[in-house]
A and B are shown apart, each in its own frame.
Chain A
Amino acid sequence: MKIHRGRIAQYKHDQLLREYLKQNLNDLIQQKELIVDGKVKTQIATLDLPTLKFGEEAQFLAQGAGGGASGGGASGSGPGGEQVQALGGLLGGDHHGKELHVELDFDEFVKLAQEVLLDELRLPAFHEPARSGEVESQDTPELDDLDRIGLRADLNLEETMVQSLLRNARERGVLDYDVDVQQDAWYFIEDPTTFQNNRSVEIYVLDISGSMRGEYLALVRKTIFILWHYLERRYPTNLRRYVVFQDVAEEKTRDEFFCVESSGGTHISTGFEKAVELLEGVTEYDKFLFMFTDGETSSGDFDLAKKKFEEAVAAFDLVSYGHVNPGGRGIGGFSEYVQEAAKSRGGAVFANLVDLETIRSAMKEFLAFFDGRTARRHAGALPR
């Protein structure tokens, strides 16, 4: 039997990496640009041995790009935009002192963050009671419908290519098939009526006006990651859409949503309005709106925001309003209104997000929604 020394060493390496990331999660999660090229990049070089390094940009040996240089090393742009490739691999043999910057796939990062947060928060596990009246079947489901989310094996290539063509025409002005699975993919799926109960649409709306300080971002992102933990267990397919707003609201991709810069004034009404707009044509079973704001909407927007909030409550199964409050100050402005409104009606929950403990309370309240759902469903199934 062969001992896989390389894999054992890698396992040890990855254990250390996880430990390190756990300890530094708070700093990492606050990075303004959390996702770059689909990855969470860190400045961590700890998984290197702590040898000494030069701390400044200095002259280095390089080779023209056509010169056949390769191996690790910095690259840059030389005079006239010509590529300059640092001469790498000069040492060979053992690889001491090489920088190994830690990069994680975003999904891997989220999983790790969830692990840490759930552990810290001691949150309850989520158990959805078995639904009455359902029977298991060994039959292969008939994939006779199309959706933007699905399994890679069920990709509808034709539809995906059309989508890619349209996007490239729209964004780059060229009729090119340059498929980006995240943006273009269409999948064969089961008829939604047969599994509608398993699908949710989640719209995340983030107020990017004012100061998006590190702690503000940390609270929002931690809350979202924990929400995902529960939502993914409840709904095998989650359609997620992302909106940011200040004076106006805009839909963003996931990666953009986690890299936004703060700017402009605040019109909360626009956030609600855009979220409701995105529901058009949605067939998912449960519809969620998660709003994150400091509640300080422009004075002229207050009444309109109230109206749009009511519309959102009517359109969504649940509107979850997170008042992001890292300083733990009193709740005022529009948030105060929502806090009161949520008490008196179903379909809306209010959370004052101050720290991990308040995220924990918010989650408990959020999970109560499922209990209510389950109770209603069971009640409906009972013979009268």
Chain B
Amino acid sequence: MGMVGEYQSVIQEVERLARARGLAFDPVIFQMTNSDEIAEVASMGLPNRFIHWYWGGTYKELVTQQNKEVFSILELVLNTVPSHAFLRSSNTYLQNVLVIAHVFGHADFFANNHWYRKSNKNMLNEAERHARLIRTYEQQYGKERVEKLLDALLTVSTSVNAFERNPQERRKRLIYSLEERAPLEDFERALLEAIREEAEYFDLIQRTHIINEGWATFVEAELLTRLLTAREWASISVQLCNRPAPYTIGYTLFKHVRDHEGFDRALEIRRFYEDVSLIDLTLTEELVRRLDIFVYDPKEKQKSYDLQKVKDMLIAQKLYKGEPRVEVDPSSQGRDLLLAHMDEDRKLEPKRIGLFLKAVHTLWRNPVKLRANGKVYTFDRRGLSST
């Protein structure tokens, strides 16, 4: 990891501009690094997180994409105090200037957004502590046992909800239900808590991805128009429209707010909103058309630009991460754990049901049932059966 010597003055200049524009943030530590390291952090989510085979697949994919120049990650910034940001040494000077401005947008969002203000800013140290804990348990209980447990925990960890505070509602989510009721040994419970805590950290990122990236891109543009020459800015603004969907959607929404309601309203939105409220309250028919977003039906080969349909689908993506909505049935009180797929009209992939229930059974130890596809699937000591 290298120093950012040649960028020091531009970092100071961008920071000055950002503060002058009304942004407020904790200190940001910039580090220069290479593509490989960025791919490593991006695949693991945090630089010192425990090592798991699952990140290995993502890492391999990212490195391959970067080598083929299909896709590159230009920057990475962590929601910690101070914030840590990574510049890529293979970026051009101008690309890194963009990254610096973008990073200050994120740092402002981390410091001011309602949900981020409440988030765990100590995750870098927490992740390190979890990694050490896992290494200790591996020595104590055997690598294989711990790895199997981690696989199961990571599988159920997608059911976290970083926003949910109502205990009744939380109990419907599998991981919280297991934390409360599963007959786990102490070390298993400690691992569950560690994985749940990390999953909540990532859940927050996922639930604010559009608004966070949109805001950072918006800030980037606001600052760079003041910093760059007209010619430089023209070439950069073309690139801004070519970014992944969350960036362009969020950026377009913030620009629309600024143009119609003023910059202060944009600041307010970045403070109080998350993705669902941003989409629900700011997406309009006109913007759907401008962004060319639609709901596509592959069977009928039909596009729909209907505002409500697009909104509903975007919101559902954010609420359930594009995965089936499976909840713990409130009647599930005894030895058996009963889960239910809430969107019964849609079929689940049968092959995965057995594997999923097996993972849950590893933690619950007693029979696990899932109501889905018009059947009740049961996984117990004898394996999978369905009625």
Q: List the interface of chain A (C-beta within 8 A of B).
A: 4-16, 47-64, 66-71, 76-79, 84, 86-98, 100
Contact = CB atoms under 8 A, between A and B. Distances in A.
B57 A6 contact: no
B318 interface: yes
A13 B50 CA distance: 14
Main secondary structure of the interface of A (DSSP, over half): loop
A13 B60 contact: yes
Interface in B126-154: 151, 154
Given A63-B293, A68-B243, A98-B58, A52 B348 contact: yes
Given A49-B155, A90-B318, A96-B202, 14 more contacts: A5-B51, A13-B53, A13-B59, A49-B359, A50-B358, A54-B347, A55-B350, A61-B313, A78-B303, A89-B244, A91-B317, A93-B203, A94-B206, A97-B323
Contact of A91 (B59, B151, B209, B295): B209
A354 B40 CA distance: 48
Interface residues of B, number: 76
Given A5-B44, A49-B155, A96-B158, A62 B56 contact: no
Contact of A94 (B202, B244, B359): B202
A68 B44 contact: no
Interface in B313-331: 313-314, 317-318, 321-324, 326
B296 interface: yes
Nearest to B62: A6
Which of B49, B245, B347 has most A Cβ within 10 Å? B245
Interface of B: 36, 39-40, 43-45, 48-49, 51-61, 63, 71, 151, 154-155, 157-158, 199, 202-203, 205-206, 209-210, 213, 241-246, 248, 291-299, 301-303, 310, 313-314, 317-318, 321-324, 326, 341, 346-350, 352-353, 355-356, 358-359, 373
A12 B56 contact: yes
A67 B291 contact: yes
A127 to B, nearest CB: 36
B295 A61 contact: yes
Nearest to A46: B355
A50 B303 CA distance: 31
A92 B57 contact: no
A312 to B, nearest CB: 44
Given A63-B291, A70-B245, A76-B298, A92 B322 contact: no
Contact of A47 (B57, B310, B321, B326): B57
B359 to A, nearest CB: 6
A67 to B, nearest CB: 4
A68 B59 contact: no
B293 A49 contact: no
